[in-house]
A and B are shown apart, each in its own frame.
Chain A
């Protein structure tokens, strides 16, 4: 690897020049490429169209998130977590809230736990629907699956908006509960949405799942072995697609998840198709969870009455809170020295860690495959670069 290629500015010219010197073609895909899902860059070395080397370059969206978390109050970090994985603000909020609640020993009322489960599963629906749309866009669909996915996503976002006031940057969870109590009208709207979601998924799957072109494009492509996935710390649907039964909702049994009946779909091949299908099947399980949670939503306060908002200073100590986010294990590690700000604030971003196996999955595949493999990892650059 020519070190000059990594230097910004003029790097592309140099890369073009060098690439014509060997049999191998070095292509810098990104940071401005239609399908790198943001400002992500892959330096791909090609033999014909086969990838012999892939170097991911990221950090273009680095926002100092973790250091920032140490300079603002515990509450002040909450809106920033929205911006980590901006497709799943609600689960980010929840993971952060769990970490702080652990640190402060703050109990959460039952109603809030139920609302959190409902929102987390809605987020999972939203995220997986979008991901399927993006993935198909990477496969070369002219926007149709993406537009259908966005149509449904809008409905979930409308719910989020009418509850939290914002579509994506919800900033909804608080330490010891949730900020706003959902009204009965909101619960009814959610029930309607959940009731209709199965039909949407059926149509979506009719368009995609049995499509021969999609099967040919995705089956056997970007295979990730279970051993490598475990060693690399891959979590979430990507890990489950390799056949490893790992779901924090089952193993950690956080919140009120043990009260719900649901199954965890597992893949067998660890390829792109499995990753897509695991997500689709997870959405169907999410619908089951949502139906149960909406049916069993208890009354009572949404916030613990003793919870403090101003002057919140947890006692010195450390805590790691994690949940099963749509992309995998999203965790927050906090160290408190008793002050109003965390002494140390660290995020375990699932899509960043899942991204580390990108090269292993892409070697020997073609450029076209690299694009969909990246799509199947399900990254959000806000979370990768932090």
Chain B
């Protein structure tokens, strides 16, 4: 009992630690100024943490890709002055120095203004999306009533920047990439939004903290009431995740920068720091979408089991975020790229109908929340059927004419 109390107190102290620290720093300021400084501190901390995450995410991605491909990945860059290698942990900074010192080449025929604006805009939009995500119980930078809408509004603008980059470069590969980026955005915005609607529906709010709160608690004492552990939530999460892969231009949907087809797509004519900005924006976007996925379906900052609640919420959020990012990398290491027409067909003929049906499933789930006893099994069975049957049927439609083959032999 005492131990539990100790855990609880340390837990709550740790929980509010970031806020306490901030108040320690800014508490002496007069009120309007304090608000401003508080916001600035919040933004600064977020950017620092996400920036560091970005730096080490690039390293982690390369190292994990390397390990999957039976090689070590970057491990040689030493820490300057002390010349200690330490698994190449200085690599991201070396990359940064390289990117900054490289010559910035702008093609002669390029639309110079747009060519410059594109990476800046992309980064700005990506950072904007990061603002609304609740990183912990007390760690929300921007509290909007319509935060979900804000997130997707800002996210939708990123593809505009990709288009700008592709168009401004005056390179045919870039132009093709720009067209691809537009088509991809139009196709995947819809399933992305539709997959989010059930989560909003069940929470009855567009505010992200409310959605996280709605996923608190445990059914049967151990199963977290995260959306992902319900049939509709699982389906929604998968649809969201696939669409997020497409939205953040990650493999297997990295068509705008398909390196085997379009050299580097919209990045072909970018070099030096601008290229690094694109890279950064891609990872920020990936983090933002992962954070959104965690918030909407994986219970946000909620602990997975009751007795683990003493660990602060932001740690849980970080753990979940990192595991989702790991899946991003894992998928990149495994899958080849889709073709443009397959990509759009997959969105329109598979994801969108599934997401629509999933809306119905979620409605059923919320209407039958009161069912208990044996009716619980009926509830699960119906919901599972509502998810699996359309999945199987649509999947069969989608993969019609594509199947493993048998081969004959001439002897």
Contacts and interface: CB of A to CB of B under 8 A. Distances in A.
A/B: CB atoms within 8 Å of each other = yes
B336 A151 contact: no
A151 B68 CA distance: 12
A137 B260 contact: yes
Q: For this complex, into which size category does the number of interface residues on chain A fall? A: 35 or more
Contacts of A136: 336
B337 interface: yes
Interface stretch (B97-105, B196-204, B397-405): B397-405
Interface stretch (B41-49, B139-147, B327-335): B327-335
Contacts of B404: 209-210, 215
Nearest to B408: A266
Contacts of A209: 404
Contact of A217 (B332, B336, B399): B336
Contacts of A219: 401-402
A207 B334 contact: yes
Contact of B260 (A19, A140, A207): A140
Interface in B30-74: 65, 68-71
A160 interface: no
A35 B170 CA distance: 22
A137 to B, nearest CB: 6
Nearest to B332: A142
Interface stretch (A95-103, A123-131, A364-372): A364-372
A371 B171 contact: no
User: Taking each of A207, A219, A265, A368, which has the highest tally of chain B beta carbons within 10 Å of its own beta carbon?
Assistant: A368
A245 B251 contact: no
B403 A266 contact: no
A263 B410 contact: yes
Interface stretch (A181-189, A273-281, A310-318): A273-281
A26 B336 CA distance: 26
A89 B109 CA distance: 46
Contacts of A207: 334
A273 B65 contact: no
Interface in A129-164: 136-144, 147-148, 151
Contacts of A277: 405, 407
User: Taking each of B70, B172, B404, B411, which has the highest tally of chain A beta carbons within 10 Å of its own beta carbon?
Assistant: B172
A228 interface: no
B260 A264 contact: no
Contacts of A35: 260-261
B258 interface: yes
B402 A27 contact: no
Interface of B: 65, 68-71, 109, 170-173, 175-176, 251-252, 254-255, 258-263, 332-342, 399, 401-405, 407-411
21 contacts: A16-B109, A27-B172, A34-B260, A35-B260, A137-B260, A139-B336, A140-B254, A140-B335, A140-B337, A142-B333, A144-B68, A147-B70, A148-B70, A210-B404, A216-B339, A216-B399, A250-B410, A273-B405, A366-B341, A367-B176, A368-B337
